């Protein structure tokens, strides 16, 4: 069954009149890989994991032309554990994205749940795109999404786009508890992409604020694309660290190679530093299907707790090898 017919059947099950007024697309992906992890206290293990390169998902999205340059749009997207049939990574039915928005000459406004701005920035700079056994989240910022969010994106001016996020904490009696504020500025021009992003999140009692900032860039040299990024992760208590990520990728026909090095420095009294080196490879069978392999190794200092994982799984050791297949529809 093609996805357009499937979309029509889904729409008919809910409300035929609503579907007649807008275009609805059913989309998704399935990613399953065999992963071997070792170097942990429990020894080595083999696993079949869902979402090594990118999280498996099923989504619905649509838009409606309102005239005068305005359009309304929505996204409903849930994660799938392809190995067991459950929900992943959040356990929520539609935990990846649920939003509705309006776009026009003024830019775009979205309401709901989606990736936060720091996650978007890291995914754009990381040669692994946030996935594979070399995922930056193994040692860097890994709080991916923001709920209850109001998001605004400006129109692009000379390649520059600005993004703002505000999310109320919805805690009775306090306008600051659990509140999130974020911003990002991006530049795209020729061979260059650059981004500066920041996220500030208050805790449940408004007694501590977690702040993470990231600045990064990529440059396409032609034969390969280079990446460089710097992150600072800090709160009002003990958390204080910085990360540097350096990487590169190259594509030749159907084959893509990726490489990244991450240096994590802990400025707290624990001094739990870490370093990660990763290499990955994908072979495209078509525009929608590829095979992949990736390997990553971590070194932890002073009892640092980091483990090698991927786009969805956090991992159980300091070495990880993955072989798998990714298909999107």
Pick the range with the lowest mean pLDDT from 15-24, 122-131, 132-141, 319-328.
15-24
Tell me phi and psi for residue 17, to 5 degrees: -65, -35
Alpha helix positions (H), the chain: 3-14, 16-20, 117-125
For 86, residues 6+ apart whose C-beta sits below 8 A from its C-beta are 80
The predicted structure's pLDDT at residue 2: 54
Which letter, b or e, does each residue of 53-90 get, where b requires 16 or more Cβ atoms within 10 Å of its Cβ? bbbbbbbbbbbeeeeeeebbbbbbbbbbbbeeeebbbb
Q: Which of 103, 15, 18, 96 is nearest to 59 (CA)?
A: 96
d(CA 96, CA 83): 18
The model's pTM is 0.88
Q: Is the dihedral of CA 35, 304, 125, 157 positive or negative?
A: positive
Structural tokens at position 259: 């490489």
* Residue 131 confidence (pLDDT) above 60: yes
pLDDT in tens, 52-80: 999 999 999 999 999 999 999 999 999 99
């Amino acid at each position: 069954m093609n996805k357009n017919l499937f979309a029509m059947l889904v729409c008919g099950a809910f409300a035929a009149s609503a579907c007649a007024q807008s275009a609805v697309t059913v989309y998704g992906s399935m990613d399953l890989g065999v992963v071997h992890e070792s170097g942990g206290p429990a020894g080595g293990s083999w696993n079949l994991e869902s979402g090594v390169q990118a999280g498996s998902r099923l989504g619905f999205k649509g838009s409606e032309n309102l005239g005068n340059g305005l359009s309304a749009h929505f996204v409903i997207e849930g994660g799938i554990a392809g190995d067991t049939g459950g929900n992943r990574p959040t356990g929520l039915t539609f935990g990846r994205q649920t939003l509705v928005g309006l776009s026009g000459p003024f830019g775009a406004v979205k309401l709901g749940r989606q990736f936060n701005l720091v996650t978007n920035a890291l995914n754009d700079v990381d040669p692994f795109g946030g996935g594979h056994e070399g995922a930056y989240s193994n040692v860097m910022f890994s709080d991916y999404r923001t709920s209850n969010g109001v998001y605004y994106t400006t129109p692009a001016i000379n390649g520059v786009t600005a993004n703002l996020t505000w999310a109320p904490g919805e805690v009775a009696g306090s306008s600051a508890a659990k509140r999130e504020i974020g911003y990002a500025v991006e530049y795209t021009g020729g061979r260059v992409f650059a981004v500066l992003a920041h996220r500030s999140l208050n805790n449940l009692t408004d007694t501590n604020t977690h702040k993470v900032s990231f600045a990064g860039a990529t440059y396409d040299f032609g034969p390969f694309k280079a990446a460089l990024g710097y992150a600072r992760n800090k709160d009002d208590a003990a958390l204080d660290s910085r990360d540097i990520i350096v990487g590169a990728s190259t594509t030749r026909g159907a084959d893509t190679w990726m490489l990244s090095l991450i240096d994590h420095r802990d400025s707290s009294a624990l001094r739990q530093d870490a370093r990660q080196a990763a290499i990955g490879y994908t072979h495209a069978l078509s525009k929608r299907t590829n095979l992949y392999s990736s390997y990553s190794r971590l070194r932890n200092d002073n009892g640092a707790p980091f483990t090698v994982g991927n786009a969805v799984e956090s991992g159980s050791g300091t070495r990880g090898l993955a072989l798998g297949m990714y298909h999107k529809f």
